Amino acid sequence: MATSTSSRITKVLLAPALALGATVGLASAPAHAAVWNSCDQWGNTSLNGYTLYNNIWGSGAGAQCVWANSGTEWGVWADHPNTGGIKSYPNSKKVINKSITSLNSLTSSYNVTVPSSGAYNTSYDIWDTDYDYEIMLWVNHNGAVGPLGGSQGTVSLGGHTWNVYKGTNGVNEVFSFLRTSDSDSGTVDILPILEWIKDTKGWMGNETIGDVQFGYEITSSAGGLDFRTNKLTVSGG
């Protein structure tokens, strides 16, 4: 993609909390009151072993609000202008903290409802604990968005077929796997993907996997669009 995805991690950690003051997005939450919601730029909370982030990190962003019934059922309303550059990555994160070789399994299931307009991708964002390597798994995307780096061909791994890209943003390596056809639900076996990067390609060593995030990398959503995670599970050990 034209803009690096990795800087959102350090920006979430280092930037001051800034309330965007948008409340209109909460109307997109379920009819019953959500357990948690926030329109703050860096709004976050922990629910059921997952951490939810509103995470508006890109320049030129508009209003965005996130709501959650749990760490695995949540959604976001976003109204970002039709300009280039990633504006946000609202996500739910599960911490793993195990090396690749010590993992017996690492899987995830997802079920989402996404808009037919706007520019975005629905993706996993997987990091080692030192944030030297970023592995993105795009399960669907729409509009003028694309991965960082050059094409490395196509591979079938973890129950899906992916177009693979490899690049760097000057801070960390980025490996992007784009599903060859869009999907709103499915299960991904993540461990074989990590092993392929490590053993088959030799692009990284026996890294300790820290965060497995799942969310929506939004470039534009003018007029306000809804993104809903109906169900998410991340398990591994």
Domain annotation covers residue 33: yes
Tokens describing residue 195: 């092993």
Domain annotation covers residue 224: yes
Per-residue pLDDT of the chain (237 residues; tens, 9 = 90+): 433 344 444 333 333 333 344 444 444 545 447 999 999 999 999 999 999 999 999 999 999 999 999 999 999 999 999 999 999 999 999 999 999 999 999 999 999 999 999 999 999 999 999 999 999 999 999 999 999 999 999 999 999 999 999 999 999 999 999 999 999 999 999 999 999 999 999 999 999 999 999 999 999 999 999 999 999 999 997
Domain annotation covers residue 1: no
Domain annotation covers residue 179: yes
Domain annotation covers residue 125: yes
CA torsion, ordered 193, 198, 202, 203, to nearest 10 deg: 70
- pTM reported for the whole predicted model: 0.89
pLDDT at 54: 98
Task: Please give the Cα distance from 236 to 212 (Å, whole number).
Answer: 10
159 φ/ψ angles, rounded to the nearest 5 degrees: 90, 5
Domain annotation covers residue 2: no
The tally of domains found in the chain comes to 1
pLDDT at 150: 97
pLDDT at 5: 42
Residue-number span of the structural domain to which 85 is assigned: 7-236
CATH number at residue 94: 2.60.120.180
